[in-house]
Amino acid sequence: MGSSPDSSRDGTADSEARAARGVGARPVGLFGGTFDPPHAGHVHLAESAQAALGLGRLIFVPAARSPHKPAPGAPGEASAAGDRLALLEALCAPRIDWSVSTVETDRGGTSYMIDTVETLLAAGELGAAPPYLLLGGDQLPGFHSWHRLEDLLALVRPVVVHRGRDAAGQLEALAASLAPELAAPLRAGFLDLPPVDISSTELRQRLGRGEDPGADLPQEVLAVVRARSLYGFKPREATPQGEVKSGGPPG
Ligand code: ATP
Protein backbone atom coordinates (compact mmCIF):
# COMPACT_ATOMS: atom_id res chain seq x y z
CA MET A 1 0.00 0.00 0.00
CA GLY A 2 1.50 3.35 -0.96
CA SER A 3 1.95 6.06 1.56
CA SER A 4 2.47 9.17 -0.54
CA PRO A 5 -0.40 11.55 -1.32
CA ASP A 6 -0.47 9.89 -4.71
CA SER A 7 -1.51 6.69 -3.12
CA SER A 8 -4.34 5.30 -5.16
CA ARG A 9 -3.84 1.60 -5.74
CA ASP A 10 -2.11 1.94 -9.07
CA GLY A 11 -0.93 5.43 -8.23
CA THR A 12 2.42 5.98 -9.88
CA ALA A 13 2.98 9.57 -10.93
CA ASP A 14 4.17 8.44 -14.33
CA SER A 15 2.33 10.37 -17.03
CA GLU A 16 1.77 7.38 -19.30
CA ALA A 17 0.13 5.43 -16.52
CA ARG A 18 -1.99 8.44 -15.70
CA ALA A 19 -3.07 8.82 -19.31
CA ALA A 20 -3.96 5.14 -19.38
CA ARG A 21 -6.10 5.65 -16.32
CA GLY A 22 -7.90 8.52 -17.98
CA VAL A 23 -6.52 11.32 -15.77
CA GLY A 24 -7.15 14.63 -17.47
CA ALA A 25 -9.66 13.18 -19.89
CA ARG A 26 -12.91 11.98 -18.36
CA PRO A 27 -13.82 13.19 -14.86
CA VAL A 28 -12.85 11.35 -11.71
CA GLY A 29 -15.34 10.27 -9.05
CA LEU A 30 -14.46 10.19 -5.36
CA PHE A 31 -16.37 7.84 -3.11
CA GLY A 32 -15.67 8.18 0.61
CA GLY A 33 -16.95 6.04 3.45
CA THR A 34 -16.02 3.54 6.10
CA PHE A 35 -16.52 0.47 3.88
CA ASP A 36 -16.69 -1.95 6.78
CA PRO A 37 -17.24 -4.02 4.65
CA PRO A 38 -17.80 -2.70 1.12
CA HIS A 39 -20.98 -4.30 -0.22
CA ALA A 40 -23.33 -4.59 -3.18
CA GLY A 41 -25.03 -1.30 -2.25
CA HIS A 42 -21.70 0.51 -2.64
CA VAL A 43 -21.11 -1.25 -5.94
CA HIS A 44 -24.59 -0.29 -7.13
CA LEU A 45 -23.98 3.35 -6.25
CA ALA A 46 -20.52 3.35 -7.82
CA GLU A 47 -21.52 1.63 -11.06
CA SER A 48 -24.66 3.71 -11.50
CA ALA A 49 -22.88 6.99 -10.90
CA GLN A 50 -20.01 5.98 -13.13
CA ALA A 51 -22.37 5.20 -16.00
CA ALA A 52 -24.55 8.27 -15.48
CA LEU A 53 -21.64 10.70 -15.19
CA GLY A 54 -19.21 9.12 -17.65
CA LEU A 55 -16.49 8.82 -15.03
CA GLY A 56 -13.06 7.84 -16.30
CA ARG A 57 -11.99 6.64 -12.88
CA LEU A 58 -13.52 6.02 -9.52
CA ILE A 59 -11.43 6.36 -6.38
CA PHE A 60 -12.67 4.80 -3.15
CA VAL A 61 -11.45 6.74 -0.13
CA PRO A 62 -11.83 4.77 3.10
CA ALA A 63 -11.86 7.05 6.14
CA ALA A 64 -9.37 6.56 8.94
CA ARG A 65 -12.14 7.66 11.24
CA SER A 66 -15.40 9.13 10.03
CA PRO A 67 -16.57 12.20 11.98
CA HIS A 68 -20.06 10.67 11.86
CA LYS A 69 -19.21 7.22 13.28
CA PRO A 70 -18.26 5.89 16.76
CA ALA A 71 -14.90 7.00 18.19
CA PRO A 72 -12.03 4.50 18.51
CA GLY A 73 -12.69 2.13 21.40
CA ALA A 74 -16.45 2.84 21.44
CA PRO A 75 -18.93 0.08 20.61
CA GLY A 76 -19.36 -0.10 16.86
CA GLU A 77 -15.90 1.30 16.19
CA ALA A 78 -14.73 0.60 12.62
CA SER A 79 -12.48 -2.34 11.80
CA ALA A 80 -8.74 -1.73 11.43
CA ALA A 81 -7.85 0.40 8.42
CA GLY A 82 -5.60 -2.36 7.05
CA ASP A 83 -8.52 -4.78 6.93
CA ARG A 84 -10.86 -2.29 5.27
CA LEU A 85 -8.19 -1.42 2.71
CA ALA A 86 -7.71 -5.11 1.93
CA LEU A 87 -11.46 -5.52 1.40
CA LEU A 88 -11.59 -2.55 -0.96
CA GLU A 89 -8.45 -3.62 -2.81
CA ALA A 90 -10.13 -6.96 -3.48
CA LEU A 91 -13.29 -5.23 -4.69
CA CYS A 92 -11.35 -2.97 -7.07
CA ALA A 93 -8.82 -5.52 -8.33
CA PRO A 94 -10.91 -6.82 -11.24
CA ARG A 95 -11.83 -3.30 -12.40
CA ILE A 96 -9.17 -1.30 -14.18
CA ASP A 97 -10.89 2.04 -13.58
CA TRP A 98 -11.52 1.59 -9.84
CA SER A 99 -8.83 2.23 -7.26
CA VAL A 100 -8.38 2.77 -3.55
CA SER A 101 -6.72 5.80 -2.02
CA THR A 102 -4.86 5.51 1.26
CA VAL A 103 -4.74 9.28 1.76
CA GLU A 104 -7.08 9.25 4.76
CA THR A 105 -5.83 6.06 6.38
CA ASP A 106 -2.24 7.26 6.00
CA ARG A 107 -3.11 10.63 7.50
CA GLY A 108 -4.94 9.02 10.42
CA GLY A 109 -7.23 10.81 12.88
CA THR A 110 -10.62 12.15 11.90
CA SER A 111 -11.02 12.18 8.15
CA TYR A 112 -12.36 15.25 6.40
CA MET A 113 -13.08 15.12 2.68
CA ILE A 114 -11.86 18.68 2.07
CA ASP A 115 -8.36 17.71 3.28
CA THR A 116 -8.42 14.69 1.00
CA VAL A 117 -9.54 16.62 -2.06
CA GLU A 118 -6.89 19.28 -1.49
CA THR A 119 -4.20 16.60 -1.12
CA LEU A 120 -5.25 14.71 -4.24
CA LEU A 121 -5.58 17.90 -6.29
CA ALA A 122 -2.12 19.05 -5.22
CA ALA A 123 -0.75 15.66 -6.27
CA GLY A 124 -2.37 16.02 -9.71
CA GLU A 125 -4.46 12.92 -9.12
CA LEU A 126 -7.85 14.32 -10.04
CA GLY A 127 -7.36 15.42 -13.63
CA ALA A 128 -8.40 18.70 -15.20
CA ALA A 129 -12.15 18.59 -14.70
CA PRO A 130 -13.56 19.15 -11.20
CA PRO A 131 -14.04 15.75 -9.58
CA TYR A 132 -17.42 14.39 -8.67
CA LEU A 133 -18.02 13.52 -5.02
CA LEU A 134 -20.45 10.62 -4.61
CA LEU A 135 -22.70 10.76 -1.58
CA GLY A 136 -25.36 8.33 -0.42
CA GLY A 137 -28.60 10.10 0.40
CA ASP A 138 -28.30 9.07 4.06
CA GLN A 139 -25.37 11.48 4.37
CA LEU A 140 -27.60 14.47 3.68
CA PRO A 141 -28.93 15.16 7.20
CA GLY A 142 -25.41 15.84 8.53
CA PHE A 143 -23.99 17.35 5.36
CA HIS A 144 -24.44 20.99 6.38
CA SER A 145 -21.96 20.41 9.23
CA TRP A 146 -19.19 18.91 7.09
CA HIS A 147 -15.80 20.47 7.76
CA ARG A 148 -15.19 23.51 5.47
CA LEU A 149 -18.24 22.67 3.37
CA GLU A 150 -18.04 25.86 1.34
CA ASP A 151 -14.43 25.15 0.34
CA LEU A 152 -15.31 21.57 -0.50
CA LEU A 153 -18.22 22.56 -2.74
CA ALA A 154 -15.96 24.98 -4.57
CA LEU A 155 -13.68 22.09 -5.55
CA VAL A 156 -16.00 19.16 -6.23
CA ARG A 157 -19.27 18.46 -7.96
CA PRO A 158 -21.44 16.69 -5.38
CA VAL A 159 -23.62 13.86 -6.58
CA VAL A 160 -26.30 12.71 -4.18
CA VAL A 161 -27.41 9.19 -4.93
CA HIS A 162 -30.84 8.21 -3.74
CA ARG A 163 -30.56 5.68 -0.93
CA GLY A 164 -33.32 6.14 1.61
CA ARG A 165 -37.01 6.23 0.81
CA ASP A 166 -37.13 10.03 0.78
CA ALA A 167 -33.77 11.25 -0.49
CA ALA A 168 -35.48 13.94 -2.58
CA GLY A 169 -37.27 15.29 0.50
CA GLN A 170 -34.05 15.24 2.51
CA LEU A 171 -32.24 17.04 -0.27
CA GLU A 172 -34.83 19.81 -0.32
CA ALA A 173 -34.71 20.13 3.49
CA LEU A 174 -30.94 20.43 3.37
CA ALA A 175 -30.93 22.78 0.40
CA ALA A 176 -33.38 25.06 2.19
CA SER A 177 -30.96 25.38 5.11
CA LEU A 178 -27.96 26.22 2.92
CA ALA A 179 -26.93 29.40 1.14
CA PRO A 180 -28.24 29.34 -2.47
CA GLU A 181 -24.72 28.97 -3.93
CA LEU A 182 -24.20 25.81 -1.84
CA ALA A 183 -27.68 24.41 -2.44
CA ALA A 184 -27.54 24.77 -6.24
CA PRO A 185 -24.77 22.20 -6.90
CA LEU A 186 -26.43 19.73 -4.54
CA ARG A 187 -29.73 19.97 -6.39
CA ALA A 188 -27.98 19.79 -9.74
CA GLY A 189 -26.18 16.58 -8.84
CA PHE A 190 -29.13 14.56 -7.63
CA LEU A 191 -29.25 11.04 -9.09
CA ASP A 192 -32.42 9.10 -8.50
CA LEU A 193 -31.69 5.36 -8.49
CA PRO A 194 -33.69 2.47 -7.16
CA PRO A 195 -32.48 2.01 -3.57
CA VAL A 196 -30.61 -1.17 -2.64
CA ASP A 197 -31.37 -1.95 0.98
CA ILE A 198 -28.01 -3.16 2.24
CA SER A 199 -25.83 -1.66 4.95
CA SER A 200 -22.43 -2.61 6.33
CA THR A 201 -23.93 -2.72 9.83
CA GLU A 202 -26.48 -5.33 8.81
CA LEU A 203 -23.87 -7.34 6.91
CA ARG A 204 -21.51 -7.42 9.90
CA GLN A 205 -24.36 -8.79 11.99
CA ARG A 206 -25.25 -11.43 9.42
CA LEU A 207 -21.63 -12.49 9.01
CA GLY A 208 -21.26 -12.67 12.81
CA ARG A 209 -24.17 -15.13 12.85
CA GLY A 210 -22.38 -17.24 10.24
CA GLU A 211 -24.93 -16.44 7.52
CA ASP A 212 -23.89 -16.62 3.90
CA PRO A 213 -24.31 -13.02 2.66
CA GLY A 214 -25.05 -14.19 -0.87
CA ALA A 215 -25.10 -11.48 -3.51
CA ASP A 216 -25.10 -8.70 -0.89
CA LEU A 217 -21.35 -9.10 -0.47
CA PRO A 218 -19.16 -9.41 -3.60
CA GLN A 219 -17.37 -12.79 -3.69
CA GLU A 220 -13.92 -11.21 -3.79
CA VAL A 221 -14.75 -9.27 -0.63
CA LEU A 222 -16.08 -12.38 1.10
CA ALA A 223 -12.81 -14.14 0.29
CA VAL A 224 -10.92 -11.47 2.27
CA VAL A 225 -13.44 -11.69 5.12
CA ARG A 226 -12.70 -15.41 5.31
CA ALA A 227 -8.94 -15.09 4.91
CA ARG A 228 -8.69 -12.47 7.66
CA SER A 229 -11.41 -13.98 9.88
CA LEU A 230 -13.27 -10.66 10.01
CA TYR A 231 -16.57 -9.94 11.77
CA GLY A 232 -16.46 -13.28 13.61
CA PHE A 233 -17.52 -14.98 10.38
CA LYS A 234 -17.54 -18.75 10.51
CA PRO A 235 -19.64 -20.18 7.71
CA ARG A 236 -22.34 -22.62 8.79
CA GLU A 237 -21.49 -26.19 8.01
CA ALA A 238 -23.91 -28.75 6.63
CA THR A 239 -24.02 -31.93 8.78
CA PRO A 240 -24.08 -35.36 7.09
CA GLN A 241 -27.86 -35.32 7.69
CA GLY A 242 -28.10 -32.13 5.70
CA GLU A 243 -28.87 -29.89 8.71
CA VAL A 244 -27.10 -26.58 8.93
CA LYS A 245 -24.89 -26.09 12.00
CA SER A 246 -24.16 -22.48 12.89
CA GLY A 247 -20.48 -21.53 13.10
CA GLY A 248 -21.71 -18.50 15.01
CA PRO A 249 -19.68 -15.64 16.42
CA PRO A 250 -16.52 -16.49 18.37
CA GLY A 251 -17.22 -17.46 21.98
P1 ATP B 1 -22.80 1.43 8.14
O2 ATP B 1 -23.98 0.50 8.07
O3 ATP B 1 -21.64 0.84 8.92
O4 ATP B 1 -23.18 2.82 8.57
P5 ATP B 1 -22.84 1.88 5.26
O6 ATP B 1 -23.41 0.64 4.67
O7 ATP B 1 -23.74 3.08 5.32
O8 ATP B 1 -22.20 1.56 6.68
P9 ATP B 1 -20.56 3.49 4.54
O10 ATP B 1 -19.20 2.95 4.33
O11 ATP B 1 -20.80 4.29 5.74
O12 ATP B 1 -21.54 2.22 4.45
O13 ATP B 1 -21.06 4.26 3.25
C14 ATP B 1 -20.23 4.92 2.33
C15 ATP B 1 -21.11 5.62 1.32
O16 ATP B 1 -21.91 4.65 0.64
C17 ATP B 1 -22.11 6.61 1.93
O18 ATP B 1 -22.20 7.72 1.04
C19 ATP B 1 -23.39 5.84 1.97
O20 ATP B 1 -24.50 6.69 1.92
C21 ATP B 1 -23.27 5.00 0.73
N22 ATP B 1 -24.04 3.75 0.81
C23 ATP B 1 -23.94 2.80 1.75
N24 ATP B 1 -24.82 1.78 1.54
C25 ATP B 1 -25.49 2.09 0.41
C26 ATP B 1 -26.55 1.48 -0.35
N27 ATP B 1 -27.11 0.33 0.04
N28 ATP B 1 -26.99 2.09 -1.45
C29 ATP B 1 -26.45 3.28 -1.85
N30 ATP B 1 -25.46 3.92 -1.17
C31 ATP B 1 -24.99 3.36 -0.07
pLDDT recorded at residue 138: 80
Mean pLDDT check: name the lowest of 21-25, 71-75, 115-119, 192-196: 21-25
pLDDT at 34 over 70: yes
Nearest atom (ligand 1) to Cα of 195: 28
10 Å CB burial of residue 219 (0-12, 13-18, 19+) is exposed
Exposed e or buried b for every residue in 31-42, given b needs 16+ CB within 10 A?
bbbbbbbbbbbb
Q: Examine the pLDDT at 248 and tell me if it is beyond 50.
A: no
Percent of the chain scored above 90 by pLDDT? Answer: 57
Instruction: Assess if residue 3 is contained within a domain.
Output: no
Kindly state whether residue 157 falls inside one of the protein's structural domains.
yes
| Calpha distance 166→185 (Å, rounded) | 19
Listed range (79-83, 103-107, 179-183, 240-244) with the worst mean pLDDT? 240-244
Percent of the chain with pLDDT over 70: 82
Is 249 part of any domain? no
CATH of the domain at 110: 3.40.50.620
State the amino acid at position 247 in one-letter form.
G
Number of compact structural domains in the chain: 1
Pocket test for ligand 1, best of 199, 216, 217 (most atoms within 8 A of CB): 199
**Which residue would you say has higher pLDDT here, 118 or 234?**
118
Domain ranges, residue 188: 12-198
Q: Is the peptide bond before 37 cis (omega within 30 degrees of 0)?
A: yes
Residue 207 lies in a domain: no
pLDDT at position 3: 35
Looking at residue 237, what is its pLDDT?
65
- If you measure from the C-alpha of residue 40 to the centroid of ligand 1, how many angstroms do you get, rounded to a whole number? 10
210 located within any domain? no
**114: in domain:** yes
Report how far apart, in Å, the C-alpha atoms of 240 and of each of 209, 210, 243, 246 are.
21, 18, 7, 14
CA 171 to CA 241: how far, in whole Å?
53
Residue 22 included in any domain: yes
Give the pTM.
0.84
What average pLDDT does range 69-83 have in this prediction?
Answer: 83
Q: Report the candidate in 242, 247, 232 with the shortest Cα–Cα distance to residue 37.
A: 232
Q: Phi first, then psi: give them for residue 121, nearest 5 degrees.
A: -65, -45
What pLDDT, on the 0 to 100 scale, is given for residue 120? 97
Tens-place pLDDT, residues 209-237 = 999 999 999 999 999 999 999 999 987 66
Is residue 151 over pLDDT 90? yes
The answer to whether residue 105 is domain-embedded is yes
**Residues facing residue 136 across a β-bridge:** 161
Query: Ligand 1 atom 15: the closest Cα is on which residue?
Result: 33
For 156-174, write each residue's pLDDT tens digit: 999 988 766 677 787 888 8
pLDDT at residue 26 greater than cutoff 80: yes
3-state secondary structure of 54: coil
